[in-house]
């Protein structure tokens, strides 16, 4: 039970808060790739709380456009504070490496349709012996698909991701599915070299499969949470500031598990 | 023999007559699809600014248009422009330009010659008659209507410098030969 509690929240933060780029949803990943040869730097502050746990972290991310439709990203999280039951810890979190391949794009005047494949790997770089731990000690793999439509006025996105979790000392926290949809609106159709603002209504969901210990399913594991919230993306030329808050609107857990709480993000992104 | 000599000598004579300021690509306008947001358009600005001839550019997102002032010393490479737009993650739908140059004629076809980039020729055509000239050396194509042909002949007699604006296209197998559709034609001087 204790081990289960230690693992579950951490993986939540690592894979939910994968800093998004461009006009992607703030709490998810979209189909966007950066231009060929382009670099992006992003710093993202994240906060998340549940009934018995609280997180605050900074993500440092660098992305590079290998081609116009392939972007690779390295993300390094610094856990500012993890507080669980009065115990706190901080330090390096789990480093992730992610690739995106945009295999479908249809352009029209002022609009783009895109479909992109996502593949990521989380490395066991976080300390997993501290209390509470900052890492899982495992290497996990994420794969997904993202569809997006962007126009001068409206945006919509749908993303599906699957996380394969590996065993550690006989414990497997169970695979996880992320499903996200978002609708965005640009109230003012600003020109280039003018500030631009887009607001999004984002719904994010996670569905956990049962955890296993030595091959036996744990009763207090598995479940589903859906968050809903508003986010905003403010940009000028190659600089973007974005952020938002999401609240849980639906939670169903198996057995006795801590409820999820709100989460918030504030990020700065710079392309060059 | 005489024709060949004229083909070589006449452009040189005309180039000597017109000053650098009087003959050049004035403006290049790109029609680009996929420009949905200003933040994403930064990539296209960066790519296009790397083109040798791009002096300055203005991105008009709402119109899907990019206007570039072109350096008179640089040839216009449509393939490079297309590559810049494509690698930025957008789709180039068309290129238009306003070109000032010396009106010339070769094998029944008319073209514009700009003095600073004599290796580049802008072959003139009208889409109403023939939508896409092939620039074949062997075949003689009538690329303009009889009325326009007569007007061009008159201008040619006066060794005129003209400004022609319209869509451009490039034959990939023939370097530095660009088709310029005559949408507007005005005599700058004679």
Do B44 and B90 touch, CB atoms closer than 8 A? Answer: yes
Residue at token pair 């962007």: A150
Q: What are the structure tokens assigned to B125, written together?
A: 């055509």
Percent of chain A with pLDDT over 90: 71
Q: How far apart are CA A191 and CA A271, in angstroms?
A: 18
Between A68, A105, A110, which is nearest B64 by CB? A110
Residue at token pair 């991701």: A161
ipTM over 0.85: yes
pLDDT tens, per residue, chain B with 190 residues: 555 555 555 554 444 444 433 458 889 999 999 999 999 999 999 999 999 889 899 999 999 999 999 887 888 888 899 999 999 999 999 999 999 888 888 877 888 888 778 888 888 887 644 444 444 444 434 467 778 888 888 888 887 788 999 998 875 555 567 888 888 898 886 5
A-to-B residue pairs, Cβ atoms closer than 8 angstroms = 94
Q: Which residues of A touch B (CB under 8 A)?
A: 22-23, 32-38, 67-69, 105, 107-112, 150-152, 186, 189-194, 196, 198, 233, 235-238, 240, 271
Q: What's chain B's length in residues?
A: 190
Measure CA of the first residue to CA of the last residue in chain B; give whole Å. Answer: 28
Q: What are the structure tokens assigned to A257, written together?
A: 């598990």
Q: What average pLDDT does this structure show over A192-217?
A: 93
Contact call for A238 and B39, based on CB within 8 A: yes
Contact call for A35 and B89, based on CB within 8 A: yes
Nearest one of A162, A159, A179 to A225, comparing CA atoms: A179
pLDDT of residue B75: 84
Contact call for B37 and A38, based on CB within 8 A: no
Which helix (DSSP H) or strand (DSSP E) does residue A246 occupy? strand A239-253
pLDDT range class, residue A39, cuts 50, 70, 90: very high
pLDDT of residue B135: 45
Q: How far apart are CA B163 and CA B68, in angstroms?
A: 17
- CA dist B136 → B44, B66, B114, B130, B141 (Å): 34, 32, 22, 14, 8
pLDDT range class, residue A161, cuts 50, 70, 90: very high
Residue at token pair 């947001």: B37
How many Å separate Cα A226 from the centre of its chain?
Answer: 14
Contact call for A194 and B34, based on CB within 8 A: no
Q: How far apart are CA B144 and CA B103, in angstroms?
A: 14
Do B38 and A194 touch, CB atoms closer than 8 A? Answer: yes
Contact call for A192 and B41, based on CB within 8 A: yes
Among B30, B33, B34, pick the best mutation site for testing chain A contact (most A Cβ within 10 A). Answer: B34
Write the pLDDT tens digit of every residue in A182-192. 999 999 999 99
What is the CB neighbour count within 10 angstroms for residue A229? 21
pLDDT of residue B18: 43
Among A32, A35, A155, A242, pick the best mutation site for testing chain B contact (most B Cβ within 10 A). Answer: A35
- Taking contacts as CB-CB distances below 8 angstroms, the residues of chain B near A68 are 86-89
Q: How far apart are CA B105 and CA B156, in angstroms?
A: 8
- CA dist A264 → A74, A87, B100 (Å): 22, 22, 57
Contact call for A35 and B87, based on CB within 8 A: yes
Contact call for A191 and B62, based on CB within 8 A: yes
Q: How far apart are CA B82 and CA B30, in angstroms?
A: 10
Do A227 and A203 touch, CB atoms closer than 8 A? Answer: yes
The nearest CA of chain A is from the CA of B36 a distance in Å of: 5
pLDDT of residue B133: 46
Write the pLDDT tens digit of every residue in A130-153. 888 888 888 999 999 999 999 999
Q: How far apart are CA A171 and CA A166, in angstroms?
A: 9
The nearest CA of chain B is from the CA of A40 a distance in Å of: 11
Between A69, A105, A190, which is nearest B38 by CB? A190
The nearest CA of chain B is from the CA of A143 a distance in Å of: 23
Name every residue whose Cβ is closer than 8 Å to that of residue A209 and which is 6 or more positions away in sequence: A174, A175, A176, A222
pLDDT of residue B143: 67
Q: Hey, is A209 helix, strand or coil?
A: coil
Angle in degrees, CA A106, A153, A44, rounded to 5: 85
β partners of residue B114: none
pLDDT greater at residue A50 or residue B87: B87
pLDDT greater at residue B112 or residue A228: A228
pLDDT of residue A168: 84
Q: Which residues of A130-155 are buried (b: 16+ CB within 10 A; e: fewer)?
A: eebbbbbbbebebebebbbbbbbeeb
The nearest CA of chain A is from the CA of B67 a distance in Å of: 12
Angle in degrees, CA A139, A263, A172, rounded to 5: 25
Which helix (DSSP H) or strand (DSSP E) does residue B176 occupy? none
Percentages helix, strand, coil for chain A (3-state, rounded to 5) are 5, 60, 35
Q: What are the structure tokens assigned to A242, written together?
A: 């974005």
């Amino acid at each position: 039970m204790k081990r289960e509690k230690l693992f579950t929240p951490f993986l939540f933060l690592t894979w939910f808060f994968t800093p998004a780029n461009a006009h992607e949803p703030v709490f998810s990943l979209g189909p966007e790739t950066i231009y060929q040869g382009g670099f992006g730097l992003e710093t993202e502050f994240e906060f998340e709380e549940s009934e018995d746990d609280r997180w605050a972290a900074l993500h440092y991310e660098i992305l590079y456009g290998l081609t116009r439709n392939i972007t690779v990203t390295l993300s390094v999280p610094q856990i500012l504070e993890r507080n669980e039951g009065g115990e706190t810890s901080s330090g390096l979190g789990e480093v992730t490496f992610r690739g995106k391949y945009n295999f479908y794009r249809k352009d029209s005047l002022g609009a783009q349709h895109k479909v992109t494949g996502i593949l990521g790997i989380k490395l066991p770089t976080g300390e997993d012996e501290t209390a509470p731990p900052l890492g899982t000690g495992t290497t996990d793999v994420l794969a997904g698909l993202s569809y997006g439509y962007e126009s001068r006025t409206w945006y919509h996105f749908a993303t599906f991701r699957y996380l394969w979790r590996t065993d550690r000392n006989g414990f497997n926290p169970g695979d996880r599915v992320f499903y996200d949809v978002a609708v965005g609106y640009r109230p003012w159709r600003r020109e280039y070299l003018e500030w631009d603002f887009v607001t999004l209504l984002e719904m994010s969901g996670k569905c956990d499969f049962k955890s296993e210990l030595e091959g036996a399913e744990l009763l207090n594991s598995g479940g589903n949470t859906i968050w809903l919230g508003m986010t905003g993306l403010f940009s000028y030329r190659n600089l973007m500031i974005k952020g938002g808050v999401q609240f849980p609107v639906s939670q169903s857990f198996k057995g006795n598990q801590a409820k999820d709480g709100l989460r918030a993000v504030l990020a700065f992104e710079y392309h060059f | 023999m005489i024709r060949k000599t004229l083909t070589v000598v006449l452009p040189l004579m005309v180039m000597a007559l017109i000053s650098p300021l009087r003959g050049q690509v004035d403006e290049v306008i790109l029609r680009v699809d996929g420009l949905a947001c200003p933040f994403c358009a930064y990539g296209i600005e960066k790519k296009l600014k790397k083109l040798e001839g791009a002096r300055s550019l203005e991105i008009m997102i709402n119109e899907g248009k990019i206007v570039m002032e072109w350096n008179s010393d640089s040839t216009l490479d449509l393939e490079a422009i297309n590559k810049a737009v494509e690698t930025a993650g957008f789709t180039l739908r068309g290129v238009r330009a306003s070109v000032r140059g010396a009106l010339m004629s070769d094998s029944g076809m008319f073209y514009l010659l700009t003095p600073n980039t004599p290796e580049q020729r802008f072959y003139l055509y009208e889409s109403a008659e023939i939508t896409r000239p092939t620039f074949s050396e062997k075949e003689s194509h009538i690329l303009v209507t009889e009325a326009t042909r007569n007007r061009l002949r008159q201008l040619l007699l006066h060794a005129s410098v003209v400004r022609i604006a319209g869509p451009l296209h490039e034959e990939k197998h023939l370097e530095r030969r660009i088709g310029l559709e005559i949408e507007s034609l005005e005599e700058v001087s004679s």
